[in-house]
Amino acid sequence: MIEASKVNKIEFITKWVETLRTTDIKQGRNCLSSETGDCCLGIACRVGEAMNIEGAGFGPTTHQETYYYFPGQWFSDIMGYRTVDVSHPSLSTPKDIAILNDDARWSFAQIAHALEYTFLRTPSEPTP
């Protein structure tokens, strides 16, 4: 097991972006994971498990056999907060990816692009 505080943030985000782009898991809304699919933060939980990060995953179910809302402390230790605000040329201000997933109904591919745009591009790269 790897302590979350020792995980390289860029490595984690890179794997999260790759998984969002390649997963066969159906996209869900309004909870981390349920029988109908995972939200973008649920995919982050799966990435954390795959990376063997201590505390990563979904934890116990909390409501009608779904995993609710936000990843645990392990995610905050890596990302600095319980969710992530992203920037994107199509957004006037940074937005929470949970809102983009649930309310704006952005696809996994769109969220992956926003994560990449916010965290993985170098300042010299042009905006897409």
Query: What are 66-121's pLDDT values in tens digits?
Result: 456 678 889 999 999 888 999 989 999 999 999 999 999 999 999 999 999 999 98
Lowest mean pLDDT among 13-22, 28-37, 44-53: 28-37
Number of Cα atoms under 13 Å in the Cβ half of residue 81: 7
User: Looking at the domain assignment, is residue 57 inside a domain?
Assistant: yes
User: Looking at the domain assignment, is residue 125 inside a domain?
Assistant: no
User: Looking at the domain assignment, is residue 27 inside a domain?
Assistant: yes
Domain that holds residue 42: 4-120
| Predicted structure pTM score | 0.88
User: Looking at the domain assignment, is residue 126 inside a domain?
Assistant: no
- Least Cα distance to 77 among 123, 31, 8 occurs for 8
* Total structural domains within the chain: 1
CA quadruple 14, 20, 25, 28: dihedral sign: positive
Strand partners, 57: none
Whether 125 and 118 have beta carbons less than 8 Å apart is answered as no
User: Looking at the domain assignment, is residue 109 inside a domain?
Assistant: yes
